[in-house]
Amino acid sequence: MIKYLYIRLIITFLATMIISMIFGFIINGRLYGDQLRNYIQDNVVINVKAIVQSYQQSNPDNVDALMKGMMSLPNYSIRVFDPDGRPLEDRNEGESTDRPMEVSADQINIVLNGGVYRDLEGHGFQDMMVGLPFSINDKPYALFAASEFGSAIDLISGFLKKQLFIVLLFGIVFIVISARYIVQPIQHLTKATRRMAKGDFSIRLTTRRKDEIGQLTASFNQMALELGMLDNIRRQFISDVSHEIQSPLTSIIGFTQALQHKQMDESSRMRLLRIIEEESNRLSRLSENLLQLNALEFEHLQLNRSEYRLDEQIRNVVIAYEPQWSSKRLNFELELDEILIEGDQDKLNQLWSNLIGNSIKFTEERGGIWIKAKRDNNAIEVSLTDDGHGIPEDEIHHIFKPFYKADKSRDRTIPGSGIGLSIVKRIVDLHQGEIDVKSRIGQGTTITVTLPLFHKGRK
């Protein structure tokens, strides 16, 4: 098996050229070879007949005059045989002796008996011989003639074959050069891929090509950028999760030791126990989110679909978050149509909880949040708008990636692991819906979720 694409390209080109040339010669010979042979032989017959008839009409008894007339034909080799089949050598002075025409006894007998002989078995163009009968003084004679144009045609054919061979040689040189031009970017891609496999995501390839290889190079650079960003997010996530875990664990351990070794009144003891409970719940939520994200990533996940009122579900989520938004004195406005939807009620509840929780989290005190839900043809559109901090435009397409946090400065002050929106995006995809985000720094954010009314395949 050939290992390198460069060698494969050269061998494929050579094989294609050689096979094409062979088939070209064969097909050309079959289509035009016989036609050309017949054309030359017909011309020989016509010209020789014209000479014979002319001399027979003017001087039918003068054999010498007839022979001299025939010998005066240019580009023809001629031999004449008497009724006994003997060549008239002494009267054939004009015949070229470089390549004497060979005529067999059987061929001579065919012509002396009144037949016309054509050489139909040869494959070349040299000595395409024809035999014609004629009579002098009522005696049969046999005339054999061959056009010397056959040698010229064979010479031209040989010239063309050599020319094609030269073309093939130059083609080999050019394909060696062009194949390297084609394969070299792929070799660079291979080396870059190996570096990337070792964890180097900073590598970038430069190209000016606009063809498929240029597009592949651009896709590779984009992939390297995405993987590098994902690796940075992963590292940041590990740091965040370590902090998220370490902080409550430190509190739990410290307060547990305090409960064991210090004498305190009942109110102080209950305060420490409440802190331990809160920190334990914090760890539990983090673990639950990680497990949920991992479960949603399975492609074969089956949704537990049912029909229910979407507007009531959103109202219930808002009510459930009442302690959070009322403590920040936020203004909530709901504009919800009465909508019946088919979907996984638990997962969609998680979706609205994450979106509403994020809006509350990133909206300043006395801010506002607006939720609208309406039915449009066969789809449901839910939009959630807040007047919070906003998201930079160049980071909007990253916010649904696992572990990504758009606002790095608030990583420690605002709780969260950066996986809530990843869960949201996955739930929307499972319901065959779409999610769109529009945001500007300092002007808030609008997130629009579009879901089908019913599952595809069901009316």
Which two structure tokens, joined as six digits, stand for 65? 């005059």
- Kindly state whether residue 234 falls inside one of the protein's structural domains: yes
pLDDT for 381 equals 93
For residues 388 and 445, the answer to whether their CB atoms sit within 8 Å is yes
The predicted pLDDT at position 67 comes to 63
SS3 (DSSP) at 210: coil
The reply to whether 317 and 441 lie within a common domain is yes
Sign of CA dihedral 354, 356, 360, 362: positive
Query: Is 379 a member of any domain?
Result: yes
> Do both 431 and 381 map to the same domain?
yes
Element spanning 182, H or E: helix 149-197
Q: Is residue 433 part of a domain?
A: yes
Residue 79, Cβ density class (10 Å: 0-12 exposed, 13-18 middle, ≥19 buried): buried
Residue 26: inside a domain? yes
Q: In whole angstroms, what is the distance from residue 99 CA to residue 378 CA?
A: 93
Q: Tell me whether residue 184 is in a domain.
A: no
Residue 282 forms part of a structural domain: yes
Domain membership flag for residue 182: no
Report the pLDDT value the prediction gives residue 336, as an integer from 0 to 100: 92
Q: How many CB atoms lie within 10 A of CB 312?
A: 12
Q: Where residue 248 sits, what CATH number does that domain have?
A: 1.10.287.130
Nearest to 358 by CA among 327, 329, 321: 321
Structural domain harbouring 354:
305-452
pLDDT along the chain (459 residues), means of 10: 64 80 73 69 75 63 61 68 76 44 84 81 60 81 74 68 79 78 78 85 82 83 86 74 74 83 79 83 73 62 84 92 88 91 89 89 89 88 89 80 56 55 86 90 89 62
Contacts of 31 (CB under 8 A, 6+ apart): none
Q: Are residues 419 and 309 in the same domain?
A: yes
> For residue 371, what pLDDT is reported?
94
Q: What is the pLDDT of residue 395?
A: 81
Q: Could you give the 3-state DSSP secondary structure of residue 147?
A: strand
- State whether 312 and 445 are in the same domain: yes
Same domain for 364 and 287, yes or no, is no
Is the same domain home to 253 and 352?
A: no
Q: Do 446 and 311 have their domain in common?
A: yes
Domain assignment present for residue 162? The answer is: no
C-alpha angle with apex 237: 231 to 241, nearest 5 degrees?
A: 155
Cβ partners under 8 Å of residue 40, min gap 6? 125, 128, 147, 149, 150, 153
State which of 118, 135, 153 marks the end of a domain. 153
- Give yes or no: residues 442 and 338 share one domain: yes
Q: What's the CATH code of the domain at 356?
A: 3.30.565.10
Question: Could you tell me whether strands 129-136 and 340-344 are parallel, antiparallel, or unpaired per DSSP bridges?
Answer: unpaired
pLDDT at position 31 is: 67
Do 277 and 340 lie in one domain? The reply is no
Please give the pLDDT value at position 413: 46
Beta-carbon contacts of 51 under 8 Å, excluding residues fewer than 6 positions away, are 69, 70, 73
User: Quick one: 268 and 354 in the same domain?
Assistant: no
Residue 130 and residue 23 in one domain:
yes
Asked which of 253, 268, 296 is the last residue of a domain, the reply is: 296
> How many domains, in total, are found in the chain?
3
**Boundary residue ending a domain (153, 178, 195):** 153
CATH number of the domain to which 66 belongs: 3.30.450.20
Contact between residue 170 and residue 155 where contact means Cβ atoms under 8 Å apart: no
Bridge-based pairing of strands 379-386 and 76-81 is unpaired
φ, ψ at 247 (rounded to 5°): -65, -50
> Does 312 lie in the same domain as 287?
no
Which pLDDT does position 172 carry in this prediction?
79
Say what the pLDDT of residue 414 is. 52
Query: Would you list the DSSP string of 288-327?
Result: HHHHHHHHHT-TTPPP-EEEEEHHHHHHHHHHHTHHHHHH
